[in-house]
Amino acid sequence: MSSIKRRSFISTFASSLVGLGLANNLKAEGKIPAPSQSQSTALKIKKYNDLGKTGLKVPDVSCGAISLFEPNVLRYAYECGVTYFDTAESYLRMKGEAYVGQGLKGIRDKVVITTKHGYNFRQKIDKASILERVEASLKRLQSDYIDVCMIHSIDDLSPALNNQEVMSAYDQLKKEGKIRFTGFSTHNAKLTLKQALETDFAQVVLFMYNHMEGQGIEPLIKALREKGIGTVAMKIFAGGMQGHLKSLVGKDVSYPQAAIRWVMSNSDIDTCIPTLSSYSHVEEYVAASGQGLNRADLKLIASYQQQADNLYCRVSCRECLSSCPNNVAVNDVLRYAMYFENFRREKEAIGYYDEMEPERKPLGCADCPAYCEKACPYGLEVRNRLLHSHEILTA
Ligand code: SF4
Ligand code: SF4
C-alpha cells in the first residue's frame, strides 16, 4: 500500500472508530473489545524479529510505555500485534510500571516486558535494596517475572559490572526466575555498546538511534547483532520536534512513520520503541510496520534535518562536554528540556533535573564566554538553550 493510500486508510479507520464510538467505549468500559475482522487484518504489525539470541520474538514497532495516561491504549496496541512493552521504575514518577501491569492484565504470557532500574554508582549500593526494588516492580507489573531487566540510563557500563552487589543481585534474580534476561539502556552508545560486547550481562541493549544521530555507531550495532545481543532503538523521532517544524505539517507522509521506517531499515535493529500514549499513536505507528523506506520518507526526513539541524542537541554526541570549565552536563540538561517541551513530560523532566547534582547544572553559564558553543559541531546556541532549560526546569 502506498504511503498516501495508507494515510487515507488510517484516517478512514480512525474515523470509523470514532463513528462507532469505539475509542470512547474502550475508555468507558475499561476493556478492549475484540477487533472486527477488517480491523484485525488491516491494522496489524506485519513483521516480527528475533530479539538477539534470547529466543523472544518482538514486533518491528514496539511500545515505549513512557508517558501513558490510559492503560487500555496498551491493550489496543496488543490487539494490533504489538507484543513488546518497555517501561521503567522511574517512568511517570513511579507509576509507569503499574499502568503496564494494568493494561496487560490477563495476557502476561503473550507479551514481552522490559523494565529498568537506575543506580547512582557514586554512592553505596547494596544487594538487598536492588532485590527489594525489583520485587516492587514485579508487584506493580502484576507479574512473577520480568523478561528483560535493564540498568537504566548508564553512560559507562564499568561501574555496574565492577559492583559485586549489583551483579550478585541480578544473578540471584535470574536464578530465582524473576528475571529472564539482563541488559542496560544508554545515552552514550559509543562507549557502552563497545563494553556490551565484552560481557554476558548485556543480553539486550536499548540505545538512541535516529536519522540525526547514531549513524556513527552502526558498526557497533552490527557487532551486537553478530554476538546475539538484542538491539532496541529509542528516541527515534530525533527530538520529537515535528510539531514545531511548520513545513512538516500537512504533508501526505507522516513524519513518525518515515522516522520509524528509517530506523527499521537498519536490519541490525530488532525493534524500536516509539511512545504509544494514545490510540492515534498506535494507529499511526503500527501502520509503519513491515514497510520499506521510500523516497517520500527520505524527502521528509531531509526537511526535518534541515530545520532541526542547529536546534537539536544530539544527546549522544557529547562533543562540547570537555570544553566546559564548570563541568556542566550540557546534553543531559538539554535532554530534560526536550522531555519537558517536546515530549510533554513536564513533571518528570523537572523531577530528573531536581535530582541532578547542582555542580552539573548551568548555574554559571550567564557569565561564561560559552566555550561549549564553539565546540558544538552543529552550531547550537548552547548557552541560551541551557539558561532557558534551567528556567523551565525550575519553574
Ligand atoms: S556556557 Fe560556559 S559554563 Fe555554561 S556550559 Fe557552556 S562552557 Fe560551560
Ligand atoms: S550541545 Fe552540541 S556539542 Fe553539545 S552534546 Fe549537544 S549537539 Fe553535541
Q: What is the pLDDT of residue 395?
A: 76
Residue of 318, 334, 382 with the most ligand 1 atoms within 8 Å of its CB, for mutation: 382
In a domain, 21, yes or no: no
Ligand 2, atom 7: closest residue by C-alpha: 313
Comparing C-alpha atoms, which of 361, 360, 364 is closest to residue 394?
361
**CA–CA distance, 263 with 122 (Å, rounded to integer):** 34
Q: Are residues 325 and 295 in the same domain?
A: no
**CA–CA distance, 14 with 21 (Å, rounded to integer):** 11
Q: Pick the last residue of a domain from 272, 305, 338.
A: 305
Q: Are residues 181 and 218 in the same domain?
A: yes
Output the pTM of the full model.
0.86
Number of domains in the chain: 2
181 phi/psi in degrees, rounded to 5: -140, 155
In a domain, 383, yes or no: yes
| pLDDT tens digits, one per residue of 144-178 | 999 999 999 999 999 999 999 999 999 999 999 99
Mean pLDDT of the chain: 88
| Span 313-325, average pLDDT | 92
In a domain, 170, yes or no: yes
Q: Pick the last residue of a domain from 305, 330, 345.
A: 305
Q: What percent of the chain has pLDDT over 70?
A: 87
| pLDDT tens digits, one per residue of 229-284 | 999 999 999 988 877 776 665 557 789 999 999 999 999 999 999 999 899 999 99
In a domain, 14, yes or no: no
Q: Are residues 93 and 240 in the same domain?
A: yes
Any ligand 2 atom below 6 A from CB of 316: no
Task: Look at residue 29 and tell me whether its pLDDT is greater than 70.
Answer: no
Q: What is the pLDDT of residue 42?
A: 78
**CA–CA distance, 127 with 25 (Å, rounded to integer):** 45
| Span 334-362, average pLDDT | 90
| Bridge partners, 205 (sequence order) | 184, 231
233: part of which helix (H) or strand (E)?
A: strand 230-234
Q: Please state, as a whole number, how many other Cβ atoms lie within 10 Å of the Cβ of residue 33.
A: 11
Q: What is the pLDDT of residue 347?
A: 86
Distance 336 CA to ligand 2 centre (A): 14
Q: Are residues 202 and 58 in the same domain?
A: yes
Residue with C-alpha cell 521506517?
261
Alpha helices in the chain (DSSP H): 3-20, 22-29, 37-42, 72-79, 96-103, 127-141, 158-161, 164-175, 189-196, 218-227, 255-264, 279-286, 295-308, 330-341, 346-355, 371-375, 382-393
Task: Look at residue 19 and tell me whether its pLDDT is greater than 60.
Answer: no
In a domain, 2, yes or no: no
Q: Are residues 380 and 330 in the same domain?
A: yes
**CA–CA distance, 247 with 219 (Å, rounded to integer):** 33
Provide the CATH number for the domain around residue 227.
3.20.20.100
In a domain, 150, yes or no: yes
Any ligand 2 atom below 6 A from CB of 232: no
Confidence of residue 67 (pLDDT cuts 50, 70, 90): confident
Q: Which ligand is nearest to the CA of 375?
A: 2
Distance 357 CA to ligand 1 centre (A): 16
Q: Are residues 114 and 247 in the same domain?
A: yes
Q: Are residues 84 and 173 in the same domain?
A: yes
Ligand 2, atom 6: closest residue by C-alpha: 313
In a domain, 297, yes or no: yes
Q: What is the pLDDT of residue 251?
A: 59
Least confident of 17-26, 103-112, 173-182: 17-26
Q: Pick the last residue of a domain from 270, 305, 340.
A: 305
Confidence of residue 39 (pLDDT cuts 50, 70, 90): low
Q: Are residues 91 and 222 in the same domain?
A: yes
The residue segments making up the domain with residue 338 are: 321-393
Q: What percent of the chain has pLDDT over 90?
A: 75
Q: Are residues 194 and 276 in the same domain?
A: yes
Q: What is the pLDDT of residue 249?
A: 57
Q: Are residues 362 and 230 in the same domain?
A: no
Q: Which ligand is nearest to the CA of 377?
A: 2
| Span 305-314, average pLDDT | 92
Q: Are residues 46 and 157 in the same domain?
A: yes
What's 367's DSSP letter? G
Q: Are residues 205 and 241 in the same domain?
A: yes
Percent of the chain that is helix, strand, coil (3-state, to 5): 45, 10, 40
Distance 308 CA to ligand 2 centre (A): 13
In a domain, 11, yes or no: no
